[in-house]
Chains A and B, each alone.
Chain A
Amino acid sequence: MKGLEVDPRVAASEAPGSPVPSGLSAVAVAMWNRNIIMLKRYAFNTLTQLINVYVLFLVVFFGARGIAGFVGGSPVALGDTLDATIVGFFLWFLALSSHSELAYSIMNEARLGTLEQLMMTPVGFRWAAFFETASTTVTNLIMSGVILAAMLLTTGRQLTIDLVTIVPLLLLATATAYGIGFAVAGLALVYKRIDALLLFFQWIWLALIGAPALLPGPVVALLPLSLVSRLLNEAMTQGTFLTDLGTGRLLAAVLNAAACVVLGVVVFSRMERKARKSGSLAQY
């Protein structure tokens, strides 16, 4: 039984060359659906990723408690540090999953030969990539929330979770991670063996998140993600509201994230052009 829809053959057999309407919304829906389908099919991977970060957190948590007990301090004294650690892990997971997912998926698609199919979209690859990252942002935020909840339950700590304050900060963090992710993915198109660099990146993110504790303010403002890490920490551990975080610092954080996105887009475009020239867009 055929449905009552418009017969597609009419559209397909129109005068040759007549443009098919290229609806951005259809591309957005396609990308979102693919993301959801892949999450379900790769449920095991997704779960493993969550558990990895959680186990690592447990090691740090119990390790720190053990050390504190050994030197005679009480676990309670660890409280403030612990809160900061939870926020740090939360942010780390978000940055890591956004960054590595993007870079890995582009590298993977180049290797398997679906990237070229993605490139051949009438709306342009940039829109496809934008919708892809937008949809994974939603799912990554949800998964980060799960990690956060698990850490809070394990430690019995309480943090301020004011969505008006933290969602904008998390979006800045995501934008930063995607910007760097695009740059790395671009480099991967040209310089193929880059997997090791990607693994190394998890420690770079960790260092950037921890930087505010060690480095002076102006330096922190220049590093990717570090300032957002400090602001998120204040918002969640001290309950500072968005507007009380300081206009100057917020502006710096926005500019910093924007710079990362611009860097990512510029590097990716240049590398993409280079890959097209050398014929290495596909590596299968």
Chain B
Amino acid sequence: MAPAVVEAALDVEGMRKTYGSGGKALVAVDDVSFSVQPGEILGLLGPNGAGKTTLIKCILRLVEPDAGAVRLFGEDFSQRRNEMYRLVSAVLEGARNTYWRMTVRENLAFFAGLQGISPRRRRAFHDELIERFGLTEKATTPVNELSTGMKQKVAVACAFARETPVLFLDEPTLGLDLHASYTLRHELKQLAADHHRTIVLSSHDMDVVRDLCQRVIIVQRGRVVVDDQVANLMALFRTEAYTIRLAGAAGDDVRRRLEERFVISDWQTEGGETRFDATVADAGQLYDMIDVLRSSGLALAGISRSEPDLAQVFLRVTQGESAAVKEVAR
């Protein structure tokens, strides 16, 4: 035992899951490893069908993985599924997660009880959860009668009522309108900080991830393709992405010459002017590109650093440009 070392709250190693076998085998989770520090909110980003939900369920052992270890605060729970549930809870995507015929408060009491915690000793805490999620007036209303946003808040509140140090939230803002999504995010951030919870949050909504997470993992076809600080990813693209306007219509030959050497996108020729976005490895490459344009006899009408958002990063990474990203990162 080395008490000086801070143990990761969650440590996933070599997680693998294949459905079916032979020619029809589908690799849903392909050798995924990552860890989450205590108090961290980790974003799990990926297109639909990338394997986020299966990955989460494999970690929770709701789906039995083919291989892989899960450690929580340094302890391996591979052979002790039930004991692991003292430390983790989850809101799963597409599931109801709560009992719609029961009221908000009844649900909180039930899930605390299911966790082995007497709800009578947690009235104040449940009051706090109800209040923070803005459900005070609906505390005695059956979940059935609440809006989608409120239902989702109840599900998240019930996960908190289990009082586990680690929470998995699979697409918690899916299907919510902007306002509901915003208030849920806000409360989530506050609660996680106040109660020192570690959260793994999956989403395909960049805003949600950028708003809540310090670090993000991008999953594609069951694999982790990016594992980095959100700020790093943003900065990376901010310095290397440019929008270029040319005074005159550039031909296909020019385009081909550019595409051979640089990452070009959004090529448009309109009203005798051509504009496109370019991603370059460094400033030197930008000059190289301008040289190509000069040798083609095209005049620059404008050049500006484009503001990429996480969505762009995400799209580029997942649309097979991960090679380009890696090169840029070097």
User: What's the minimum C-beta distance from A218 to chain B, rounded to whole angstroms?
Assistant: 42
User: What's the minimum C-beta distance from B15 to chain A, rounded to whole angstroms?
Assistant: 14
Binds A, one of B118-126, B211-219, B220-228, B289-297: B118-126
B61 and chain A: residue at smallest CB distance: A276
Are A284 and B101 in contact, with the CB atoms below 8 A? no
A245 is an interface residue with CB less than 8 A from chain B: no
A244 is an interface residue with CB less than 8 A from chain B: no
Given contacts A5-B121, A12-B195, contact A281 B94 (CB under 8 A): no
Are B110 and A17 in contact, with the CB atoms below 8 A? no
Residues in chain A near residue B92, CB distance under 8 A = 113, 116-117, 282
B195 and chain A: residue at smallest CB distance: A12
User: What's the minimum C-beta distance from A139 to chain B, rounded to whole angstroms?
Assistant: 16
Residues 24-42 of A, flagged 1 when their CB comes within 8 A of B and 0 if not, give 1111011101100110011
B115 is an interface residue with CB less than 8 A from chain A: yes
Given contacts A5-B124, A9-B125, contact A16 B63 (CB under 8 A): no
Residues in chain B near residue A42, CB distance under 8 A = 101
Are A8 and B163 in contact, with the CB atoms below 8 A? yes
Residues in chain B near residue A193, CB distance under 8 A = none
Are A24 and B116 in contact, with the CB atoms below 8 A? yes
Are A19 and B99 in contact, with the CB atoms below 8 A? no
Pick from A9, A34, A118: contact of B102, CB under 8 Å: A34
User: What's the minimum C-beta distance from A127 to chain B, rounded to whole angstroms?
Assistant: 9
Pick from B73, B85, B117: contact of A23, CB under 8 Å: B117
Pick from B87, B95, B99, B127: contact of A116, CB under 8 Å: B95
Are A17 and B73 in contact, with the CB atoms below 8 A? yes
Interface residues in B1-59 by Cβ distance below 8 A to A read 9, 17, 19, 28, 38, 54, 57
Given contacts A16-B196, A20-B117, contact A119 B94 (CB under 8 A): no
Are B82 and A114 in contact, with the CB atoms below 8 A? no
Residues in chain A near residue B197, CB distance under 8 A = 12
A6 is an interface residue with CB less than 8 A from chain B: yes
Pick from A30, A122, A279: contact of B85, CB under 8 Å: A122
Residues in chain A near residue B315, CB distance under 8 A = none
Are A122 and B83 in contact, with the CB atoms below 8 A? yes
Are A282 and B124 in contact, with the CB atoms below 8 A? no
B64 is an interface residue with CB less than 8 A from chain A: yes
Residues in chain A near residue B99, CB distance under 8 A = 34, 38, 114
B19 and chain A: residue at smallest CB distance: A279
Given contacts A33-B109, A282-B95, contact A122 B86 (CB under 8 A): yes
Residues in chain B near residue A113, CB distance under 8 A = 92, 94-97
Bound CA–CA A121/B85 (angstroms): 6
B137 is an interface residue with CB less than 8 A from chain A: no
Interface residues in B77-104 by Cβ distance below 8 A to A read 82-83, 85-90, 92, 94-102
Count B interface residues, CB 8 Å.
62
Residues in chain B near residue A281, CB distance under 8 A = 62-63
Residues in chain A near residue B100, CB distance under 8 A = 112
B126 and chain A: residue at smallest CB distance: A8
A29 and chain B: residue at smallest CB distance: B113
Are B85 and A120 in contact, with the CB atoms below 8 A? yes
A18 and chain B: residue at smallest CB distance: B165
Residues in chain B near residue A112, CB distance under 8 A = 95-96, 100
A28 and chain B: residue at smallest CB distance: B113
A11 is an interface residue with CB less than 8 A from chain B: yes
Pick from B72, B96, B119: contact of A114, CB under 8 Å: B96
Residues in chain A near residue B165, CB distance under 8 A = 16-17
A72 is an interface residue with CB less than 8 A from chain B: no
User: What's the minimum C-beta distance from B230 to chain A, rounded to whole angstroms?
Assistant: 23
B142 is an interface residue with CB less than 8 A from chain A: yes
Residues in chain A near residue B194, CB distance under 8 A = 9
Interface residues in A207-265 by Cβ distance below 8 A to B read none
A sample of 9 cross-chain residue pairs with beta-carbon separation below 8 angstroms, ordered by A number, consists of A2-B124, A13-B196, A22-B115, A38-B101, A113-B92, A276-B64, A278-B19, A279-B54, A282-B92
Give 13 new A-B contacts, CB below 8 A, not counting A20-B163, A27-B114, A120-B90.
Answer: A8-B128, A12-B163, A17-B72, A17-B75, A23-B116, A23-B118, A26-B119, A27-B113, A113-B94, A114-B95, A116-B92, A122-B115, A279-B54
- The list of the 6 closest CB pairs from A to B, nearest first, reads A113-B95, A30-B113, A22-B116, A8-B125, A17-B73, A276-B64
